[in-house]
Structure 1
Protein backbone atom coordinates (compact mmCIF):
# COMPACT_ATOMS: atom_id res chain seq x y z
CA UNK A 1 0.00 0.00 0.00
CA UNK A 2 1.26 3.46 -0.87
CA UNK A 3 1.35 6.09 1.88
CA UNK A 4 -1.40 8.69 1.35
CA UNK A 5 0.87 11.28 3.02
CA UNK A 6 3.17 11.32 0.01
CA UNK A 7 3.03 14.03 -2.65
CA UNK A 8 1.44 13.17 -6.01
CA UNK A 9 4.89 12.84 -7.60
CA UNK A 10 6.08 10.55 -4.78
CA UNK A 11 2.98 8.34 -5.10
CA UNK A 12 3.50 8.04 -8.87
CA UNK A 13 7.17 7.17 -8.34
CA UNK A 14 6.21 4.54 -5.76
CA UNK A 15 3.75 2.93 -8.21
CA UNK A 16 6.43 2.74 -10.90
CA UNK A 17 9.12 1.42 -8.55
CA UNK A 18 6.76 -1.34 -7.37
CA UNK A 19 6.05 -2.35 -10.99
CA UNK A 20 9.75 -2.37 -11.87
CA UNK A 21 10.71 -4.36 -8.77
CA UNK A 22 8.08 -6.99 -9.59
CA UNK A 23 9.25 -7.22 -13.21
CA UNK A 24 12.91 -7.43 -12.23
CA UNK A 25 12.14 -10.23 -9.74
CA UNK A 26 10.27 -12.17 -12.43
CA UNK A 27 11.75 -15.19 -14.17
CA UNK A 28 10.71 -13.63 -17.51
CA UNK A 29 13.98 -12.44 -19.08
CA UNK A 30 12.23 -10.24 -21.64
CA UNK A 31 10.19 -8.51 -18.93
CA UNK A 32 13.38 -7.97 -16.92
CA UNK A 33 15.06 -6.41 -19.96
CA UNK A 34 12.09 -4.10 -20.65
CA UNK A 35 12.05 -3.03 -16.99
CA UNK A 36 15.75 -2.20 -17.23
CA UNK A 37 15.18 -0.12 -20.36
CA UNK A 38 12.31 1.74 -18.71
CA UNK A 39 14.41 2.40 -15.61
CA UNK A 40 17.02 4.02 -17.91
CA UNK A 41 14.54 6.61 -19.25
CA UNK A 42 12.62 7.37 -16.06
CA UNK A 43 12.43 10.99 -14.98
CA UNK A 44 11.03 12.57 -11.84
CA UNK A 45 7.29 13.03 -12.48
CA UNK A 46 6.61 16.42 -14.05
CA UNK A 47 3.18 17.91 -14.63
CA UNK A 48 2.28 18.31 -18.31
CA UNK A 49 -0.86 19.09 -20.28
CA UNK A 50 -1.93 16.18 -22.47
CA UNK A 51 -4.24 16.55 -25.49
CA UNK A 52 -7.11 14.07 -25.97
CA UNK A 53 -9.58 13.42 -28.79
CA UNK A 54 -12.21 16.09 -29.24
CA UNK A 55 -9.92 18.93 -28.19
CA UNK A 56 -9.94 17.98 -24.51
CA UNK A 57 -6.86 18.56 -22.35
CA UNK A 58 -5.91 17.22 -18.94
CA UNK A 59 -3.10 17.83 -16.46
CA UNK A 60 -1.04 14.62 -16.30
CA UNK A 61 2.43 13.64 -15.09
CA UNK A 62 5.24 12.80 -17.50
CA UNK A 63 7.26 9.88 -16.06
CA UNK A 64 9.70 8.99 -18.87
CA UNK A 65 11.96 11.12 -21.00
CA UNK A 66 10.54 11.28 -24.48
CA UNK A 67 12.44 9.63 -27.30
CA UNK A 68 11.22 12.24 -29.78
CA UNK A 69 8.16 10.16 -30.61
CA UNK A 70 6.69 8.65 -27.43
CA UNK A 71 6.64 9.01 -23.67
CA UNK A 72 4.69 7.58 -20.74
CA UNK A 73 2.46 9.78 -18.60
CA UNK A 74 0.28 9.17 -15.53
CA UNK A 75 -3.37 10.22 -15.71
CA UNK A 76 -4.34 11.07 -12.11
CA UNK A 77 -8.08 11.36 -12.80
CA UNK A 78 -8.16 7.85 -14.30
CA UNK A 79 -5.52 6.35 -12.01
CA UNK A 80 -3.47 4.68 -14.73
CA UNK A 81 -0.64 5.33 -17.18
CA UNK A 82 -0.85 6.20 -20.87
CA UNK A 83 1.43 6.25 -23.87
CA UNK A 84 1.42 9.58 -25.68
CA UNK A 85 2.98 10.77 -28.92
CA UNK A 86 4.78 14.04 -29.27
CA UNK A 87 3.04 16.53 -31.55
CA UNK A 88 3.33 20.18 -32.52
CA UNK A 89 0.64 20.85 -29.91
CA UNK A 90 2.25 18.86 -27.08
CA UNK A 91 1.71 15.29 -25.87
CA UNK A 92 -1.24 13.54 -27.55
CA UNK A 93 -3.00 10.54 -26.00
CA UNK A 94 -3.16 7.58 -28.42
CA UNK A 95 -5.40 5.28 -26.38
CA UNK A 96 -2.73 2.97 -24.94
CA UNK A 97 -3.55 2.81 -21.21
CA UNK A 98 -2.70 0.60 -18.24
CA UNK A 99 0.41 -0.09 -16.23
CA UNK A 100 3.54 2.04 -16.70
CA UNK A 101 5.55 -0.94 -17.90
CA UNK A 102 2.74 -2.12 -20.18
CA UNK A 103 2.51 1.28 -21.86
CA UNK A 104 6.28 1.56 -22.15
CA UNK A 105 6.66 -1.92 -23.63
CA UNK A 106 4.05 -1.29 -26.32
CA UNK A 107 6.47 0.86 -28.34
Structure 2
Protein backbone atom coordinates (compact mmCIF):
# COMPACT_ATOMS: atom_id res chain seq x y z
CA UNK A 1 0.00 0.00 0.00
CA UNK A 2 1.41 3.42 -0.97
CA UNK A 3 0.09 6.58 0.63
CA UNK A 4 -0.70 9.19 -2.03
CA UNK A 5 -0.82 12.83 -1.01
CA UNK A 6 -0.34 14.09 2.51
CA UNK A 7 -0.53 11.12 4.89
CA UNK A 8 -2.63 11.04 8.00
CA UNK A 9 -2.03 9.13 11.19
CA UNK A 10 -4.72 6.65 10.13
CA UNK A 11 -3.14 5.99 6.72
CA UNK A 12 0.26 5.42 8.30
CA UNK A 13 -1.29 3.10 10.89
CA UNK A 14 -2.91 1.16 8.03
CA UNK A 15 0.49 0.66 6.37
CA UNK A 16 1.91 -0.69 9.61
CA UNK A 17 -1.16 -2.85 10.29
CA UNK A 18 -0.73 -4.49 6.86
CA UNK A 19 2.93 -5.23 7.56
CA UNK A 20 2.21 -6.61 11.02
CA UNK A 21 -0.62 -8.80 9.79
CA UNK A 22 1.64 -10.51 7.29
CA UNK A 23 4.61 -10.73 9.66
CA UNK A 24 2.69 -12.11 12.64
CA UNK A 25 1.24 -14.89 10.49
CA UNK A 26 4.59 -15.69 8.84
CA UNK A 27 6.08 -19.16 9.11
CA UNK A 28 9.46 -17.52 9.74
CA UNK A 29 10.13 -17.35 13.48
CA UNK A 30 12.48 -14.34 13.23
CA UNK A 31 9.89 -12.35 11.26
CA UNK A 32 7.23 -13.11 13.89
CA UNK A 33 9.58 -12.18 16.76
CA UNK A 34 10.53 -8.91 15.06
CA UNK A 35 6.85 -8.05 14.60
CA UNK A 36 6.07 -8.90 18.23
CA UNK A 37 8.94 -6.70 19.44
CA UNK A 38 7.83 -3.83 17.18
CA UNK A 39 4.29 -4.00 18.61
CA UNK A 40 5.81 -3.25 22.04
CA UNK A 41 7.48 -0.04 20.82
CA UNK A 42 4.79 1.09 18.38
CA UNK A 43 3.15 4.44 19.03
CA UNK A 44 0.34 6.41 17.47
CA UNK A 45 2.03 8.33 14.64
CA UNK A 46 2.95 11.87 15.61
CA UNK A 47 4.69 14.58 13.68
CA UNK A 48 8.38 15.08 14.37
CA UNK A 49 11.15 17.04 12.67
CA UNK A 50 13.81 14.72 11.23
CA UNK A 51 17.29 15.95 10.37
CA UNK A 52 19.04 14.77 7.19
CA UNK A 53 22.64 15.03 6.05
CA UNK A 54 23.50 18.37 4.52
CA UNK A 55 21.57 20.29 7.20
CA UNK A 56 18.13 19.59 5.75
CA UNK A 57 15.11 18.96 8.00
CA UNK A 58 11.65 17.63 7.20
CA UNK A 59 8.43 17.04 9.10
CA UNK A 60 7.90 13.28 9.31
CA UNK A 61 5.85 10.90 11.47
CA UNK A 62 7.36 9.02 14.43
CA UNK A 63 5.81 5.52 14.58
CA UNK A 64 7.86 3.91 17.35
CA UNK A 65 8.95 5.02 20.78
CA UNK A 66 12.60 5.90 20.80
CA UNK A 67 14.76 3.62 22.91
CA UNK A 68 17.30 6.39 23.48
CA UNK A 69 19.28 5.26 20.45
CA UNK A 70 16.88 4.58 17.53
CA UNK A 71 13.31 5.14 16.39
CA UNK A 72 11.32 4.40 13.22
CA UNK A 73 9.70 7.29 11.33
CA UNK A 74 7.58 7.59 8.20
CA UNK A 75 8.98 9.90 5.49
CA UNK A 76 5.92 11.38 3.76
CA UNK A 77 7.72 12.80 0.73
CA UNK A 78 9.39 9.45 0.02
CA UNK A 79 6.45 7.22 0.97
CA UNK A 80 8.47 4.80 3.11
CA UNK A 81 9.90 4.35 6.60
CA UNK A 82 13.32 5.25 7.97
CA UNK A 83 15.44 4.21 10.92
CA UNK A 84 16.65 7.33 12.72
CA UNK A 85 19.30 7.68 15.39
CA UNK A 86 18.50 9.94 18.33
CA UNK A 87 20.69 13.03 18.61
CA UNK A 88 20.85 16.21 20.67
CA UNK A 89 19.02 17.90 17.78
CA UNK A 90 16.27 15.30 17.36
CA UNK A 91 16.00 12.24 15.12
CA UNK A 92 18.69 11.95 12.43
CA UNK A 93 18.07 9.91 9.26
CA UNK A 94 20.84 7.34 8.84
CA UNK A 95 19.88 6.05 5.40
CA UNK A 96 18.10 2.83 6.43
CA UNK A 97 14.82 2.98 4.47
CA UNK A 98 11.98 0.65 3.50
CA UNK A 99 9.14 -1.10 5.32
CA UNK A 100 8.66 -0.27 9.02
CA UNK A 101 9.58 -3.77 10.21
CA UNK A 102 12.61 -3.89 7.95
CA UNK A 103 13.92 -0.66 9.44
CA UNK A 104 13.09 -1.75 12.98
CA UNK A 105 14.68 -5.17 12.53
CA UNK A 106 17.92 -3.77 11.15
CA UNK A 107 19.27 -2.97 14.63
Q: Do both share a fold (TM > 0.5)?
A: yes
Q: Give the aligned partner of residue 64 of structure 2.
A: 64
User: Distance between the aligned counterparts of 1:89 and 1:61, measured in 2?
Assistant: 16
Number of equivalent positions: 105
The offset of 1:3, in angstroms, is 9.3
User: Aligned residue for 1:29?
Assistant: 29
The question of 1:92 aligning with 2:92 is answered yes
CA-based RMSD:
1.6
Deviating beyond 4 angstroms after TM superposition, the runs of 4 or more aligned structure 1 residues are 1-4
Tell me: CA distance 1:38–1:76, structure 2 relative to 1, closer, same or farther (3 Å): same
- CA distance in structure 1 between the partners assigned to 2:92 and 2:3 by the alignment: 30
Separation in structure 2 between the aligned mates of residue 101 and residue 90 of structure 1, nearest angstrom: 21
Distance 2:95 2:2 in 1: 26
Report the equivalent of 2:41.
41
Q: Is the 8 A contact 1:50 1:59 kept in 2?
A: yes
In 2, Cα distance between the equivalents of 1:89 and 1:30?
A: 33
Name stretches of at least 5 consecutive residues in structure 1 with no aligned partner: none
Q: Which residues of structure 2 form unaligned runs of 5+?
A: none
**Structure 2 residue aligned with 1:55:** 55
